[in-house]
Amino acid sequence: MGIKFTKYHGLGNDFILIDNRHDHTPCLNSEQAMKLCDRHFGVGADGVIFALPPQGESDYTMRIYNSDGSEPEMCGNGIRCLARFLADLDGKQDTHHTYQIHTLAGIIRPQLQGKDQVTVNMGQPYLLAHEIPTTLASSEEKVISQPLSVADQSWQVTCVSMGNPHCITFVDNADGIDLETIGPEFEHHSAFPKRTNTEFIEVVSQDYLKMRVWERGAGITLACGTGACASLVAAVLNQLSDRAATVELPGGCLHIEWSLQDNHVYMTGAATKVFDGTVAAIL
């Protein structure tokens, strides 16, 4: 007995995709997912994504465990990979099909674009402190360029939720940030009761941002789709960016647009299949 899987990556943010459409409960628990994500003793990935049966009006349901076993509300790169995985299962690779995916952050709608590109309607950003959540402002206030003390340094931060929490700070040199040291300090800061993803953004121009990210539950990753969306929103709120821009991540670029028409954020980027495999049923 074994569990079949397919490995995908979105700009180097890599995931193990499992066809779990026969059952509403993931076939692996969080501890097993952690072992599967281990890059020395397992397959190696930033997370494990399960394609589950639909809920309500959705086509399918997405569940994901991070490499540390935690379960995020949603994952932008992950849902692009899931859309490509479902297209492979459904035989829709060459169409512009749109899926309705139920996530813990609500219904997300990825649309297939060409060979490996996917455009995702990420919905509207959430900006109020209680929606993030964060204690940096009162419940109904926004957190825009507010001071936050981390590791004996004051940072100006803007907080955005894309269904999961993000803390964005603008820096002169993104490459100069010691992510391994400072990332955990942000993630576990007391101002974020559900922890937070943290993005360090260098504004290259009004339509080009450079980003490095420390992901909640995964650490340093090559890309973060929800983080890129949150960062574009934060840049607009701070009058540092146009409403559409390229976001450069270590693994590649995403095109992000915060639409004036519907207030939704749209993300376009690649989702690439790596290989198929089978793992032992008991890890």
What total of structural domains would you count in the chain?
2
Same domain flag for 136 and 251: yes
Q: Could you tell me which of 46, 3, 36 has the C-alpha nearest to residue 22?
A: 3
- Catalytic site residue from 75, 81, 167, 229: 75
Query: Contact, 250 vs 212, CB < 8 A?
Result: yes
Q: Does residue 81 carry a catalytic annotation?
A: no
Coil, strand, or helix at residue 100? coil
Same domain flag for 116 and 140: no
Same domain flag for 135 and 207: yes
Domain that holds residue 216: 129-263
- Whole-Å CA distances, 210 to 155, 164, 218: 18, 21, 20
Task: Give me the pLDDT at residue 115, please.
Answer: 81
Q: What is the DSSP letter of 127?
A: -
Task: Give me the pLDDT at residue 200, please.
Answer: 98
d(C-alpha 118, C-alpha 273), whole Å: 13
CATH number at residue 184: 3.10.310.10
d(C-alpha 137, C-alpha 126), whole Å: 14
Task: Give me the pLDDT at residue 87, please.
Answer: 95
Task: Give me the pLDDT at residue 249, please.
Answer: 97
Is 184 buried (19+), middle (13-18) or exposed (0-12) by CB count in 10 A? middle
Same domain flag for 259 and 274: no
Q: Which residues of the chain have pLDDT under 70?
A: 1, 281-283
Which amino acid makes up residue 271? A
132-148 burial string, b = 16+ CB within 10 Å, else e? Answer: bbbebbeeeebbbebeb
Q: Does residue 167 carry a catalytic annotation?
A: no
- Catalytic site residue from 37, 159, 224, 229: 224
Task: Give me the pLDDT at residue 63, please.
Answer: 98
Task: Give me the pLDDT at residue 176, please.
Answer: 96
- 27 token code pair: 């076939």
Same domain flag for 141 and 40: no
pTM confidence score: 0.92
Task: Give me the pLDDT at residue 281, please.
Answer: 65
Same domain flag for 162 and 192: yes
